[in-house]
Amino acid sequence: MILILKQGVPPERVNAICAELKEKFGVNTHPSTGATETLIGLIGDTSAIEISVVEMFDDVARAIRVSEPYKRANRAFHPGDTRIDFGNGVVLGGPRVIVCAGPCSVESDGQICGIAAGVRAAGAAMLRGGAFKPRTSPYAFQGLKDDGLKFLKNANRQTGLPVVSEITNPSQVELFNDYVDVFQIGARNMQNFELLKHVGMGKKPVLLKRGFANSIEELLMSAEHIMSGGNPNVILCERGIRTFETSTRNTLDISAVPVLKKKSHLPVVVDPSHAGGEAWLVEPLSKAAIAAGADGLLIEVHNDPKKALSDGKQSLNPSEFAALMEKLKPVALALGREI
2 lies in the binding site for a second copy (CB under 8 A): yes
Binding a second copy (rule: CB under 8 A), the pick from 276, 297, 300, 318 is: 276
Q: How far is the CB of 304 from a second copy (least distance, A)?
A: 10
Q: Of 9-17, 47-55, 106-114, 158-166, which segment contacts a second copy by CB under 8 A?
A: 47-55
Smallest Cα–Cα separation from 159: which of 297, 11, 318?
318
Q: Which of residues 206-235 bind a second copy (CB under 8 A)?
A: 211-213, 215-218, 221, 224-225, 228-229
Of residues 91-120, those binding a second copy (CB under 8 A): none
Q: Is 180 or 196 the residue whose CB approaches a second copy more closely?
A: 196
320 binding a second copy? (CB under 8 A): no
When asked if residue 47 is in the footprint of a second copy (CB under 8 A), the reply is: yes
> Which residues 146-185 are close enough to bind a second copy by CB under 8 A?
168-171
Determine if 139 is a binding residue for a second copy (CB under 8 A). Answer: yes
Question: 252: closest CA among 298, 218, 220?
Answer: 298
The distance between the two most distant Cα atoms of the chain, rounded to a whole number of Å, is 76
Stretch in the footprint of a second copy (CB under 8 A) among 31-39, 74-82, 147-155, 174-182: 31-39
- Counting Cβ atoms within 10 Å, is residue 166 exposed (0-12), middle (13-18) or buried (19+)? buried
**Cα 274–246–288 angle (5° rounding)?**
50
155/297 with CB nearer a second copy: 297
Q: Is 192 in the site for a second copy (CB under 8 A)?
A: yes
CA torsion through residues 89, 92, 98, 101, sign = positive
Pick 54 or 113: Cβ nearer a second copy: 54
Euclidean distance between CA atoms 214 and 186, whole angstroms: 12
> Under rule CB under 8 A, how many of the chain's residues touch a second copy?
103
Give one DSSP letter per residue of 11-39, joined into a string.
Answer: HHHHHHHHHHHHHHH--EEEEEE-SS-EE
Using a CB cutoff of 8 Å and minimum separation of 24, what contacts does 283-288 make? Answer: 283/324, 283/327, 285/252, 286/324, 286/328, 287/327, 287/328, 287/331, 288/252, 288/254
Q: Does the footprint of a second copy cover residue 5 (CB under 8 A)?
A: no
In the complex, minimum distance from the CB of residue 154 to a second copy, in angstroms, rounded to a whole number? 25
- Decide if residue 338 touches a second copy (CB under 8 A): no
Contact status: 36 vs a second copy (CB under 8 A): yes
Instruction: Let me know how long the chain is.
Output: 339
Q: How far apart are CA 230 and CA 199, in angstroms?
A: 10
22 lies in the binding site for a second copy (CB under 8 A) = no
By beta-carbon proximity to a second copy, the closer residue of 152 and 257 is: 257
Among the listed residues 175, 248, 317, 320, the single contact to a second copy using CB under 8 A: 248
Distance of CA 143 to the CA centre of its chain: 22
CB-facing half-sphere around the CA of 123: CA atoms within 13 A = 19
We find the least distance from the C-beta atom of residue 112 to a second copy, in angstroms, to be 19
Decide: is 30 part of the binding site for a second copy (CB under 8 A).
Answer: yes
Applying CB under 8 A, which of residues 107, 166, 300, 311 lies at the interface with a second copy?
A: 311
